[in-house]
Amino acid sequence: MRIIVYGIGAVGGAIAAQLSFAGHDVIGIARGRQLDAIRASGLTLSTVQGTRTAHFPVHADPAEISFRPDDVVLLTMKTPDTPGALQRLNAAGVAAQSVFCFQNGVANEALALRFFANVYGATVMLPADYDTPGQVAAYFAPKIGAFDIGRHPSGTDDTVDKLCRVLSTAGFIVDPRDNVMSSKYRKLLANLRNIIDAALGDTGLQRKWYAKARAEAEAVLTAAGIDWDKTDALAREELTITAVPGRERVGSSTLQSIVRGTGSLETDFLNGEIVLLGRLHGMATPVNAAFCKLSIELASGRMQPQSAGDDTIVSMIDAIDKTG
């Protein structure tokens, strides 16, 4: 099994590096300064255990890869970049190969099914960041991450089992899931907090608005008949977030995108998923809609991260209530 990691950012970089350290056949797809840095000097991964540099082939586009029938593709980019990535994979000749969505949110799998028959979901529990080209840090210990993996929309198969074994040997905790989307909806509820923590600097306000956003979301999921795993995340009791020597954690993937000035955030596919479901089922979702609007201000640079206050959110909700 050769593994193509498409999107060498924080999560994709940690996965690719660990696979390379374990001796697995891995190819990366990256862009910009990250691509240049990995080609020049490899990818350095820092964890509580120490710092190592992985060397593996990396390309700018799937068209540069001669795909094999048994290749497995892991999508690790953020959802706004998924449609373009799928189109490029399709143009490069990917057809029957397995495509795994190692991404937040629940929209990527349905997008991938438009292009490919063998699509899988993966719930990613891997706190990592990337702010310097060629360098990634991962903060879980003693393992650096955990995944729930299953076929989309449901079931498992030999490919799931094989990938689970490969990732396990590379230092991850992995669990095959018959209903992986239930696990991914659980993670979606947790990820509603990403934009909240990025917008608000006060921890008390962060807790307050996350509770409101989550309550709104749970009501919408219930109305939509969507089940989510109500247990704690896989192996959470076995993993703890740790300090990595020489690194200061940036924060969630959303805050990292703001800090790097990427110009787009995944909020429309996290909090925006709740807004979408609310509109489909006739339910108002002013709290999550307000944070979607706030994400535009943060992504554009018109608002600085963690500068919003309680009045900012209240005024946005009031405006949404007036316009409907």
User: In the predicted model, is pLDDT for residue 120 greater than 90?
Assistant: yes
CATH code given to domain 3-183: 3.40.50.720
What is the average per-residue pLDDT within 138-150? Answer: 93
Would you state the pLDDT for residue 232?
A: 60
- How high does pLDDT run on average in the chain? 93
What are the residue ranges spanned by the domains of the chain?
3-183, 188-323
- DSSP structural state of residue 268: G
- Per-residue pLDDT tens digits for 228-259: 998 765 455 578 888 888 887 776 777 777 77
What is the average per-residue pLDDT within 283-308? Answer: 92
pTM (2 decimals)? 0.94
Please identify, in words, the CATH class of the domain defined by 188-323. mainly alpha
Residue type present at position 317: I
Would you state the pLDDT for residue 279?
A: 96
* The two domains 3-183 and 188-323 share their CATH topology (first three levels equal): no
Would you state the pLDDT for residue 246?
A: 84
What is the rounded distance in angstroms from the CA atom of residue 141 to the CA atom of residue 151? 28
DSSP string over 44-109: EEEETTEEEEE---EESSGGGS---TT-EEEE-S-GGGHHHHHHHHHHTT--SSEEEE-SSSSSHH
